[in-house]
C-alpha cells in the first residue's frame, strides 16, 4: 500500500466536503416537499415558487412589429 502525504489527505477531504456542500445546496434550492434516499424519490409541490437568483441570463423583449 502506498504512503500518502498530509497534503493528499487534505485534498481528498476538501474535495469530499465540496461535494457535500454542492449536494446540500441543490437539495435546499429544490422544489421537493419530501426527499427519500433509498430508493431515491422526490415528492414535488408545484405550488412552491422560487425566487429568481439573477444568475440566469434573460433575453431582451423584442419590440412588436
Note the pLDDT tens digit of each residue in 14-65: 999 999 999 888 877 777 778 777 887 878 776 766 666 666 666 667 776 5
What DSSP line would sit under 13-59, residue for residue?
HHHHHHHHHHHHHHHHHS-EEEEETTTTEEEE-TT------S-S--P
Question: Model-level pTM?
Answer: 0.53
Res 24: pLDDT: 84
The answer on pLDDT for 1 being more than 60 is no
Res 13: pLDDT: 95
Residue 47 and residue 33 in contact, taking contact as beta carbons nearer than 8 Å: no
Res 32: pLDDT: 78
Residue 34 and residue 45 in contact, taking contact as beta carbons nearer than 8 Å: no
Amino acid at each position: 500500500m502506498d504512503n500518502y502525504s498530509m497534503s493528499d489527505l487534505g485534498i481528498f477531504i476538501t474535495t469530499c466536503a465540496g461535494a457535500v456542500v454542492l449536494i446540500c445546496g441543490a437539495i435546499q434550492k429544490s422544489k421537493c416537499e419530501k426527499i427519500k434516499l433509498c430508493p431515491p424519490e422526490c415528492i414535488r409541490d408545484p405550488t412552491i415558487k422560487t425566487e429568481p437568483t439573477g444568475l440566469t441570463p434573460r433575453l431582451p423583449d423584442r419590440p412588436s412589429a
